[in-house]
Structures are given as C-alpha cells and as structure tokens.
Amino acid sequence: MAVPDNKHVDDLQPSHDLGRSIVESLCTGIVAYDQSLKIIHANTQAAVLIELGEHFDTSLAKGTDSNIWGDWNSLIKASIASDKESEFDLVKYSRDGNLRLLSIVCSPLIDSDTNNILGGTAMITDVTERINIVHQLAQAERLASVGKVAGKVAHELNNPIDGILRYLNLAVRVIDTDDIPKAKEYLAHCRQGLMRMVAIISELLEFSRFAHISFEPVALDKIIEEAIKAMHLVVKDLTVKVIDDYTGQTPWVKGGNLFQVFCNLIKNASDASGRTGTLEITIGKDNTDATIAFKDNGHGFEPEHADKIFEPFFTTKGTGKGTGLGLAICKDIIEKYDGTITAENAPDGGSVFTVTLPMAVID
C-alpha cells in the first residue's frame, strides 16, 4: 500500500531491512500513525483486513457501525493520551460485501530517546474463524446438554405415564364391578401423576422463555428488589434482609435473566425455612466480580449433595414438592454470564447459595 509521506516515517519504520521483512511477514495487520492519526506505515496484512485511507480513524469508520463504536477519532486519540494499550474486541468490519470480526489493539508509540509520544500503533487480528469455532463448540456443548436433559425428561415423564396407565386399567376393572370408591382412589393416583408431568413441563417451558440473554448493564440491587417484589406472596411470612457488603457504587452486571435466578433462589430459601424463617441476601464485590449470597435458616442439605443439587431432576424436597429443575436452570443461566453458583451449609444452620458474576463496565 502506498503510504503518505511524513517527517516521522523514518522514526517509526524499522531501522533495517530485517525488521521490515518481519513486519511484512506477520499475519497480523500493523499500522503506525502520528498524533493526528495520519497513517505513516502499514504492512500488507493491514491493507487486506481494512480499507486503508490517509487516516487510521476514517479507515476504521469506513467498515464499522458508528452506532456501536461511535467516534473512532476520539477513541484512538484517547488511547494515545492514556499511555497504555486499548483493546477493541470483536469489531465487525464490512468490506466488499464481506464481514470480518477483528481484534484491534492500539498502543501509544513513544520515542525511547526523548520519551515523547510520536503517535500510536495498531495490531489488527482477524478472529472470525476462531470466534466461529468457539460458537460451534458452544453449540455442540449445548446440544449435548440438551440431549442429556432430554433423556432425563423422558425418564421422569415415563414413570408417571406408566403409573397412570396402570391405575386407569385398574379403575376400568373396578368400575365394571361397581366398586366406585376404589375407582376414585385409582383416578386420584392418576391425577397425582398428571400433576407431576404438568410441573415438569411448566419448568421446561419457563426455561425456554429465558433462552435469550440481554447483555445490557443492570444495577444488581434493582434486580434483587424486583425479584423480592415479584415473590411477595412467597415471602410474606419470611423476614427478608438485603445487606450491601461493599463500598462505593452499586455493582452492575450484564443481562436481565438474573431476575429468574434470584426468584428461584428466594423461593428455595422460603421452602427450606418453612416460609416463616429468615433470608439474608448479601451483595458484595471486588475489583472484577460481584457476589450475591442467599442465606436461609432452613434445614440445609447433606454435604454429599453439594454438587448433585444443581443436576437436572435432583431434588431434596419431598415427593410432589419439587421437580429438581429450578437449580439446574439457574446454573445454566449463570454460566452463560461466565459466572458460577455454589451451595454450602451455613455454620449456624441453614444453607447459603452464592452467585458470582463478572461486573459490567459502566461508562
């Protein structure tokens, strides 16, 4: 690519032929620009990845959506002024009808002798194939997970179906002998089996409604407040206390599906404590993560169940009181945020469910 002449070109280009050869052989695009963002050097790969013009910011603007990335001039100049690397990840760049995903890392270019900032450099990497592979692996993992759950669903539904058929056959026989009380007893068993199936299907439908995740930043305390309000009938006899165990601003996280998770954990705490105990919801944070701990004063659980408790259809509740899908759904949602959820017994009784999530960066 022909690059405009500039008085700093000699300062910024490699000082010998070997250096130029190395830069040209890289599969990463390299662009050098002065403080006005005028391009003064670029290797061949950079010209392949983006449509290079006179200035680096306008070259990026040609193929990107301004509604997403805004003003590239301000972004790149800010990276120069910050005296540190600025990374722009998963930048969708359209050129000649082709869409690429680019990773762009901008760094200030400093004169080693005078310590003056000459401009900046950008490393541009095409990550399209890598991201596609990641998505394919995620889809494969998702399908494997669906297959595993589907097998358990079939097993869980087959049991009540088998029971219903047996009791219906018995009911038909006793009706022929005019034993109406016995027929009613058998039909009552059929009803219990059907209710079990309805509960399982309802949980699965609830899960499917929340399959899409919104990645908009949300204040954590607001989600918890909304969840408590939504569960007011469940917690009306439960003493609920929210504790802010952090300093500074309220933690923000990405997404809206956490509302479903928090509602489920509140309901579980209420069930464990007989709906008349206490529930403490503690919000904490460190430099990168937010934590939300749900502590009840219920009966807790057996230590060996700490891992199994998040498996589909595993439940410590009595027959007919739970499907064992709630916590499995919570775990699935949390992991989509690159978060974790754990369960442990509290030293003073009850259980603690702790959700850890990466905090959203708020401009």
Asked if residue 4 belongs to a domain, the reply is no
Region 149-158 average pLDDT: 69
Split at pLDDT 50, 70, 90, the class of 320 is very low
- Please identify, among 100, 126, 152, the residue that sits at the C-terminal boundary of a domain: 126
Clarify whether residues 78 and 200 are in a common domain: no
Clarify whether residues 293 and 181 are in a common domain: no
The candidate with the shortest Cα–Cα distance to 69, out of 82, 81, 57, 51, is 57
Clarify whether residues 223 and 263 are in a common domain: yes
Asked if residue 328 belongs to a domain, the reply is yes
pLDDT of the residue at 301: 81
Structural domain total, the chain: 3
CATH number of the domain at 189, please: 1.10.287
State the pTM of this model.
0.46
Query: Hey, is 3 helix, strand or coil?
Result: coil
Q: How many CA atoms lie within 13 A of 139 on its CB side?
A: 6
- Please identify, among 77, 96, 126, the residue that sits at the C-terminal boundary of a domain: 126
Contacts of 123 (CB under 8 A, 6+ apart): 28, 29, 30, 104, 105, 107
Q: What is the pLDDT of residues 231-251, one digit of tens each?
A: 877 777 788 899 999 888 888
Q: What is the pLDDT of residues 263-310, one digit of tens each?
A: 889 988 888 877 678 899 999 998 889 999 999 988 888 776 767 788
Distance CA 167, CA 279 (A): 42
Asked if residue 202 belongs to a domain, the reply is yes
Asked if residue 1 belongs to a domain, the reply is no
Asked whether 131 and 101 are in contact (CB, 8 A), the reply is yes
Clarify whether residues 103 and 143 are in a common domain: no
Clarify whether residues 175 and 242 are in a common domain: no
Residue 192: pLDDT over 90 = no
Clarify whether residues 19 and 117 are in a common domain: yes
Quote the domain boundaries for residue 118.
9-126
Clarify whether residues 122 and 136 are in a common domain: no
- Please identify, among 126, 141, 157, the residue that sits at the C-terminal boundary of a domain: 126
CATH number of the domain at 108, please: 3.30.450.20
